[in-house]
Amino acid sequence: MEAIKDAIQKVRLLAPKQHVLLISHMRANTSLVGHLIGSHEDISGYYEMHIGYYSWKSLINQKFLFHEQNRTEPVTDFYFDKVLHNEHFTSRDVLCRDNVKLLVALREPKATIKSIVKLYSAKNPEHPCATPKGAAQYYLDRVRYITDLILSLGNDQNYYYYDADDIIQHPKRVLGEMKEFLGIDRAFEATYRKFEKTGHRFAGDSSENIHAGVIVKKSPDTSVLDLDNELLMSCQDAYHLCREKLIQHSWKA
């Protein structure tokens, strides 16, 4: 009986689906967004799958890999993933496909770098990102990559850009605009499910907040960032340039 169910599922997964890809960087509230999106009844996926998107075959791989890792989850019309690292190649041809819906988010550099350092200092203190310099270099490289990637799309693909902190400060607006952009019938809720991989290492945010099931407003980190001013300025310049370009060409509700 299980073999028959598996065969039916494979046939259903081979049928074209809609894919929602979030292009962003670490510590941009993407775990929260993934859980809010993945809790929608028409969407599968809520965590970073750590895969590249090279061709249409990668989209099929995404579906099969998700169900291999989440055997109790149903086949749905939409599949979500987020890409936060430059080593996970993202092809322009994939992003421009008709069945790919693209979301893009940025968070301002100072808060992001502090958050990256805090994460890696606790989880992997030997990693370069456990230092302000290493975290800032990751951020700078990633934001520049996103700028080049989005500019390469030209007019061939729409995307929805939102400021990363707005999912916490203005969730009703952001979720409403996402619903309209994705073209789904039922609205997103401001609450979310706790999934099998919620809080697990390498699957996104491992803090207590992600287990809340609701959007938690965090107190700002007021600590001093010990970072070379020139590198910080480079991060800020890259952020403002990227954000300006993203807003200029973003889909508008």
What the block records as the tokens of 164 is 């990363």
Q: What is the pLDDT of residues 12-28, one digit of tens each?
A: 676 769 999 999 999 99
Q: Identify whether the C-beta of residue 240 lies closer than 8 Å to the C-beta of residue 128.
A: no
Q: What is the pLDDT of residues 106-123, one digit of tens each?
A: 999 999 999 999 999 988
- List CB contacts of 118: < 8 A, sequence separation 6 or more: 221
pLDDT score for 223: 83
pLDDT score for 6: 60
Q: What is the pLDDT of residues 190-249, one digit of tens each?
A: 999 999 889 777 666 777 789 889 999 888 887 878 899 999 999 999 999 999 999 999
Query: Where do the domains of the chain lie, and which CATH numbers do they carry?
Result: 2-108+158-226 (3.40.50.300)
Round to whole Å and give the CA distance between 215 and 206: 15
CA atoms lying within 13 Å on the CB side of residue 240: 7
The neighbour count for residue 183, using CB atoms within 10 Å, is: 9
Q: What is the pLDDT of residues 126-185, one digit of tens each?
A: 999 999 999 999 999 999 999 999 999 988 789 999 999 999 999 999 999 999 999 999
pLDDT score for 58: 97
Residue bearing tokens 């300006």: 244
pLDDT score for 68: 94
What the block records as the tokens of 135 is 């975290």
pLDDT band with cut points at 50, 70 and 90 for residue 35: very high
How buried is 85 (Cβ within 10 angstroms: 0-12 exposed, 13-18 middle, 19+ buried)? middle
Round to whole Å and give the CA distance between 143 and 242: 7
The reported pTM is 0.93
What the block records as the tokens of 51 is 């895969």
Q: What is the pLDDT of residues 76-100, one digit of tens each?
A: 999 999 999 999 999 999 999 999 9
pLDDT score for 199: 77
What the block records as the tokens of 76 is 């749905």
List alpha helices for the chain, DSSP H: 2-14, 30-38, 56-69, 92-95, 109-123, 132-153, 166-169, 171-182, 229-249
Cα torsion for 183, 184, 186, 191, to the nearest 10°? -100
pLDDT score for 156: 79
